[in-house]
Structure 1
């Protein structure tokens, strides 16, 4: 099957399934579920794939809301990652309903040409991207072993092909002091709430000296129980981010000193723990990026210029860890969000408008066409297989 024939097939399949794909997107959006609790959403995605002939394995990697849907038996294994977790209180303000539906669409399209292309198609349901690092867990437990390329799309206000992200550390810092009556005997207290205040002042002053790309931001998740009791327990939840894992390690060291300063100044003790696995930065595969760019432009979309792609990283994603091991891409597909950005309630509302529905269809086709381009090119195919062989030779990341 020639490239143009395969392209025609995948477009026909996606457009024929568009009603079901859009309904899936809307259904996931209507019932938002948080990290590792996406039971309904994961089932909706897996059920549609099963109805179209995919072999479904649930609970992969020990995660109840993860799944692996497979079709075909070709020697080149390609994975499309589906995300479906939502954010607390503001629901699908990151548009993961679009990600899930487009992953299904791409999977169905590639299944239709799998035998002719000699590929095995896997749609991998990856929970807990917003918090928890589901892909990292699956990566470490061998779920991506044997995968030659991994792809997905993410919605945003603009089309961005070579999207970048920041490495991220998700931390909880707890301070322990001693209760006392805040009026009658304050001298007997050791104020954990004050430790939080000192720490945040120190972190705020540190911002002047951060390297380009380094960020830190957080909330007070616990700070006392009553005004007349000196708080004995307080907690900060903080994200540290940087352009690279190495830069993140440097920032972490400096932030640790601020945490310790809060405890020292107030006579408290403190403990730092990681809430989720550390995310690494996106490292998109150059050849897959180039293929996707050609396909999305051919479809009539106008991505931002290459020189502008890295000016504003897209926060952080556990897909970064995948792309540091497996050749992959994480482009952004644009929707009309009326000026809203991700993690705003207005973006959640925009994630089911007409442009979001179009993004489901276009994203499905673009991802499938990208894989067709690479799988049909002997040199590109050999390159992916060679990279996989090198990875296998040194063993799984487990």
Structure 2
């Protein structure tokens, strides 16, 4: 669901909202040590996709201490979580990520995401009765690869969610970022081993097959459409130089501005993979290793409410014209924003020249600046949800969206097709 551009409307402050905002901020302040401690603890023990057992337990324990009903595992995922408090008709979904990257740990700052999500949940739970909210924290594993949010969408855990929120650390405060659609493909080549010197003619070289595919992809780059990207690594390249490799494998990320462009790119990359097999006489297999991530389509009204919130907290987000050019990579939150009103703003941490997915950024995500991002992100999300819940027009819009999705089955249709809503 897309809304009117932000320049055309603004939310008015409802009577009593100031007091509720103050209560939200007070809850976060009272729990500062627990929230920053959670962030630092998750950072100190990084766990990769679908293996975030310690991390999800830390999130679950803190929420349970504060009276949340916690369920884990859910959606058939061992490290997914749902925690709830409140009984209002407006269900606010707060997404917590906590998976890390191989080798560089929390170089995307998911420890900050998890702790800020918990802080927002605690804050909103304190005012849920007055604001008519049900607060649902969704612990979503495997964002870096695996698509935990897509799988949880398909399992129906977002069906009655009226709005979804999360904040993601980065070098700048960006209220309405853009992202690229992405699919992950793994290619396997199978040839025939032979002695590389005594009988090379008996071999079918799987490494050569992969080399041909890489060359074909390299030559294709000059013909890629704007915002199409291809990047990959070799994950299996052979055992010894004197053995003709019988097996090789590689993983490639394919990105594009939107789903249709991504499909066109995938068709061409699959042809490059096939060329390697044809040229060398090897067999090949292509496996999609994650669900397709859609591009972000964030809700403009919620983004503007978030902009006001972080500005009130003393932050200076990029202006609207500048942030239009900020592409943050790819995220499975894109699928959520395509299914229901949601936002995925970036919250700044002091990281020098570093950017996400660098070891230096991982270090920056366990600093006083990152601790501040946890607290500011929690308050800003709580204020954003509160603004929506107390605005009669927006509340009606969000609740009508839930009813529309239930009637049309649009969320399920999007998730299973991988298409554009």
TM superposition score category, shorter chain reference = over 0.9
Q: How far apart are residue 223 of structure 1 and its match?
A: 1.1
Please say if residues 233 and 252 of structure 2, whose CA atoms lie closer than 8 Å, have aligned partners that are also in contact.
Answer: yes
Please give the residue correspondences for 1:77-226 in structure 2 after superposition, counting only pairs within 5 Å. 77-226=91-240
* Mapped partners of 1:125, 1:208: distance in 2: 40
Please give the residue correspondences for 1:238-253 in structure 2 after superposition, counting only pairs within 5 Å. 238-253=252-267
1:3 aligned residue (17, 20, 28): 17
Q: How far apart are residue 335 of structure 1 and its match?
A: 0.3
Q: 5+ residue gaps in structure 2?
A: 1-14, 417-421
Q: How far apart are residue 175 of structure 1 and its match?
A: 0.8
Aligned position for 1:377: 391
* Mapped partners of 1:238, 1:61: distance in 2: 27
Q: How far apart are residue 188 of structure 1 and its match?
A: 1.3
* Mapped partners of 1:221, 1:178: distance in 2: 19
* Mapped partners of 1:11, 1:214: distance in 2: 42
1:266 aligned residue (259, 263, 280): 280
Aligned position for 1:333: 347
* Mapped partners of 2:37, 2:48: distance in 1: 20
Q: How far apart are residue 308 of structure 1 and its match?
A: 2.1
SS in 2 for 1:102: helix
TM-score (norm 2): 0.93
Q: How far apart are residue 145 of structure 1 and its match?
A: 1.1
Aligned position for 2:357: 343
SS in 2 for 1:162: coil
* Mapped partners of 1:312, 1:74: distance in 2: 36
Q: Deviations over 1:17-41 (max 9, x none)?
A: 1111000000001111111111110
Aligned position for 1:63: 77
Q: Deviations over 1:271-327 (max 9, x none)?
A: 111111111111101111111111111221111121222324111111111111011
Please say if residues 181 and 295 of structure 2, whose CA atoms lie closer than 8 Å, have aligned partners that are also in contact.
Answer: yes
* Mapped partners of 2:230, 2:317: distance in 1: 29
* Mapped partners of 1:18, 1:210: distance in 2: 48
* Mapped partners of 1:146, 1:45: distance in 2: 23
Q: 5+ residue gaps in structure 1?
A: none
Aligned position for 2:50: 36
Aligned position for 1:295: 309
Q: How far apart are residue 179 of structure 1 and its match?
A: 1.1
Aligned position for 2:88: 74
* Mapped partners of 1:105, 1:35: distance in 2: 23
* Mapped partners of 1:215, 1:74: distance in 2: 44
* Mapped partners of 2:325, 2:219: distance in 1: 25
Please give the residue correspondences for 1:312-323 in structure 2 after superposition, counting only pairs within 5 Å. 312-323=326-337
Q: How far apart are residue 222 of structure 1 and its match?
A: 0.6
Q: How many residues align?
A: 398
* Mapped partners of 1:152, 1:232: distance in 2: 45
Q: How far apart are residue 184 of structure 1 and its match?
A: 1.2
Q: How far apart are residue 62 of structure 1 and its match?
A: 0.9
Q: 1:312 to 1:194 in 2, by over 3 A?
A: farther
Please say if residues 177 and 326 of structure 2, whose CA atoms lie closer than 8 Å, have aligned partners that are also in contact.
Answer: no
Aligned position for 2:34: 20
User: Could you list the runs of 4 or more consecutive aligned residues of structure 1 that deviate by over 6 angstroms after TM superposition?
Assistant: none
* Mapped partners of 1:160, 1:144: distance in 2: 25
Relative to structure 2, which stretch is displaced further, 290-299 or 107-116? 290-299
* Mapped partners of 1:283, 1:107: distance in 2: 23
* Mapped partners of 2:104, 2:130: distance in 1: 43
Aligned position for 2:5: none
